[in-house]
Chain A
Amino acid sequence: MAYSDKVVDHYNNPRNVGSLDKKDPNVGTGLVGAPECGDVMKLQMKVNPDTRVIEEARFKTFGCGSAIASSSLATEWVKGKTVEEALAIKNTDIVRELSLPPVKIHCSVLAEDAIKAALGDWKKKQGEAEAKPAESATSAH
């Protein structure tokens, strides 16, 4: 299977790998996927509660190269965006940027889910009720 140059680049030089303190009230954590499916993404974002700007983002991913690249790209994209702007990121944007083939589209879906789950968690911590983390990750495997 041939990977696009961008996927290879993110795989070889993943951006923003690591973890943030999940107990921090300004940190939202999203954990999506399942080990049995071969993909698990953990995405964390630190959001400034006053400006609603995402100041930091970190990820860790168990999955194929495309899954790693999708989550690495997601951290790059959300940084500096507001919560609302980040929530507008679509999996198709990731597919386009990384030139993912059809069999790898689920990797981009997982990355979108991870963004929504992390920001859902943050909103919940902030006492905003309208988004629950469970909302983004719908069906159990």
Chain B
Amino acid sequence: MAIKLPVYFDNHATTQVDPRVVDAMLPYFTDKFGNAASRNHEFGWKAEEAVENARGQIAKLINATPKEIVFTSGATESTNLAIKGVAEMYREKGNHIITQVTEHKATLDTCKRLEKYGYEVTYLPVEKDGRISLDDLRRAITPKTILISIMYANNEIGVLQPIAEIGKIAKEKGVFFHVDAVQAVGKIPVDVQREGIDLMSISGHKIYGPKGVGALYVRRKNPRVQLAAIIDGGGHERGMRSGTLNVPGIVGLGKACELCQNEMAAEAEKKSRLRDRLKESIMSRLDETYINGSTTHRLPNNINISFAYVEGESLLMGINDVAVSSGSACTSATLEPSYVLKALGVGEDLAHTSIRFGLGRFNTQEEVDYVADRVVETVSRLRELSPLYEMAKEGVDISKMKWVAASDSH
């Protein structure tokens, strides 16, 4: 069976917009182009109705109420609004925020900025499996703590944090709990009531919706969360986020959530079957491959594997008709290997050899088999080229060797 190349296995980065989402959006560019804030004519009413419908679709997916959904330009903005908004609003109460080291940069860099303004941030470490320790969390909470911000699922290794347990601790201590749920919403069941979540960031383009739109869930009761806005203006979104609403984007996000709601269970089952097939097919044929992160507390569509002795970028180059990501330094702008893998205690040597596979709604078994073959073939070829593989086969302990770096690098 012919498959279409290149194969897309990078669904943690972004996803294809579902054609059904596109269909839902299109009328809002042309016929129904109104401004949702126009209160005195039909164009505005239609736009507002569509926005409210989307609010309902999103709320339903996460067991919230429509009024608790604030539309943003994406999850980075949602996370900025949640953290900075709480920090400013509750400054009198305290200045301490707790997060953890494998968070997305949207969270980490927001916290870093707040540190410059006098806030104190605790970055919890993670265990080898990528999860935080609840005891560490309990110990970190002080009377000054106003917010705990922990991601639902990690974008590199797909590891799920113990969200419900964290939510419980946050409630006990009277601390707000923000969750970056970008990778989890629409992929696995997320329930803000059951899990005690007070604020939650959602992205459109990770769930087969459009880019440039996201949402922040903001709890309205038990407890009510108030936010200081970071974007001021016309007072849209109950003053929390000014700016004319991106109606087509919002319609798309709503439709994407509705599709996830209806199809999540079957889709998760399929993706986890394909993911396991990919993992088995690769790992049964290659020695010295290692899974990064927990294998049990993990998104159904993610696998992150280190291929010892083969540098990630060269592997990507060999499988250039397959779209995946690497934790290798060479693929990052900073020339540092993945900070997420480092936090797990994965050695830098192995971090350079890691590949993230992110399966999505539109992937097929034929694609999985093709990718597995390409990976096995390329890793085998590159190992023949690898002095490290040769040394390991000769029984040399590479970790005990004294290495000298290039004259000018680093």
Contact = CB atoms under 8 A, between A and B. Distances in A.
B274 to A, nearest CB: 28
B407 interface: yes
Contacts of B348: 35-38
Given A3-B317, A65-B314, A65-B317, A34 B405 contact: yes
A10 to B, nearest CB: 11
A8 B407 CA distance: 25
Contacts of A40: 387-388, 403
Contacts of B387: 31, 40-42, 60-62
Nearest to B404: A137
A42 B409 CA distance: 17
Contact of A138 (B331, B390, B404): B404
Interface in B37-91: none
A138 B409 CA distance: 11
B134 interface: no
A109 B407 contact: yes
A128 to B, nearest CB: 21
A115 B329 CA distance: 25
Contacts of B403: 33-36, 40, 140-141
Given A36-B347, A38-B352, A40-B387, A62 B407 contact: no
Contacts of B337: 38
A48 interface: no
A99 B317 CA distance: 17
Contacts of B408: 105-106, 109
Contact of B402 (A33, A112, A140): A140
B267 interface: no
Nearest to B350: A35
A38 to B, nearest CB: 4
Contacts of A28: none
Contacts of A35: 348-349, 352, 388, 398, 403
Contact of B406 (A17, A36, A61, A110): A110
A38 B311 contact: yes
Given A136-B407, A137-B406, A139-B407, A61 B385 contact: yes
A63 interface: yes
A129 interface: no
B386 A62 contact: yes
Interface string B291-325: 00000000000000000011111100110000000
B263 interface: no
Contact of B329 (A38, A61, A68, A113): A38
Given A3-B317, A62-B310, A64-B317, A38 B330 contact: yes
Contact of B390 (A32, A37, A60, A68): A60
Contacts, number: 119
Interface string A119-141: 00000000000000010111111
Given A11-B314, A64-B314, A65-B317, A17 B405 contact: no
Nearest to A105: B408
Interface in A75-131: 103, 105-106, 109-110, 112-113
Contact of B313 (A61, A64, A136): A64
B238 interface: no
A61 B328 CA distance: 16
B384 interface: yes
A19 interface: yes
A17 B384 contact: yes
B353 to A, nearest CB: 9
B410 A37 contact: yes
Interface string B380-408: 00001111111000000010001111111
Contacts of A137: 404-407
Interface of B: 309-314, 317-318, 328-331, 335, 337, 347-349, 352, 384-390, 398, 402-410
Interface of A: 1, 3, 8, 11, 14, 17, 19, 31-42, 60-65, 67-68, 103, 105-106, 109-110, 112-113, 134, 136-141
23 contacts: A17-B385, A19-B390, A35-B398, A36-B348, A38-B348, A38-B352, A39-B311, A41-B387, A60-B390, A62-B309, A62-B389, A63-B314, A64-B330, A65-B313, A103-B335, A106-B408, A109-B406, A113-B407, A136-B407, A137-B405, A137-B406, A139-B405, A141-B405
Given A109-B409, A141-B404, 11 more contacts: A32-B404, A33-B404, A37-B406, A37-B410, A41-B387, A62-B387, A64-B311, A110-B406, A137-B406, A141-B405, A141-B410
